[in-house]
Amino acid sequence: MAAIITFIGWHDSGKTTLATEVVSHLKAFGYKVAVIKSSNETGIVFDTPGTDTDKHRQAGADSILLVAPDQMVLQTKNSNLSLTTLAHRYFPDVDIVIGEGFKGARRVSKIEVVRDPNQLLRNEVHGVIAVATDLEIAGDYVFGLDQSQEIASFIRKRFLKDGEKAQDKVSLLINGNKIPLKGFVQDALAGTVAGFVKSLKFSDDASEIELRIKLGRPAAKS
Which domains does the chain carry?
A: 15-76 (no CATH), 83-163 (3.40.50.300), 166-214 (no CATH)
- Beta strand 128-133 with 110-114: parallel, antiparallel or unpaired? parallel
Rounded CA gap, 42 and 67, in Å?
10
Rounded CA gap, 145 and 116, in Å?
13
Rounded CA gap, 57 and 109, in Å?
35
Give tens-digit pLDDT for 152-167.
999 989 888 755 455 6
**Terminus-to-terminus CA distance in the chain, angstroms?**
32
- pLDDT of 70 reads 95
Regions in the chain scoring below 50 on pLDDT: 164, 222
How many helices (H) and strands (E) in the chain?
Answer: 5, 8
- pLDDT of 25 reads 93
- pLDDT of 148 reads 92
- pLDDT of 42 reads 92
Burial class (CB in 10 A: 0-12, 13-18, 19+), 5: exposed
pTM of the predicted protein model: 0.68
- pLDDT of 220 reads 55
- Beta strand 177-179 with 110-114: parallel, antiparallel or unpaired? unpaired
Q: Assign residue 40 a region (left: φ > 0; alpha: ψ between -120 and 50; beta: otherwise).
A: alpha
Rounded CA gap, 60 and 21, in Å?
10
DSSP string, 73-105: EEEE------HHHHHHHH-TTSS----SS-TT-
Instruction: Supply φ then ψ for residue 28, to 5 degrees.
Output: -65, -30
- pLDDT of 165 reads 52
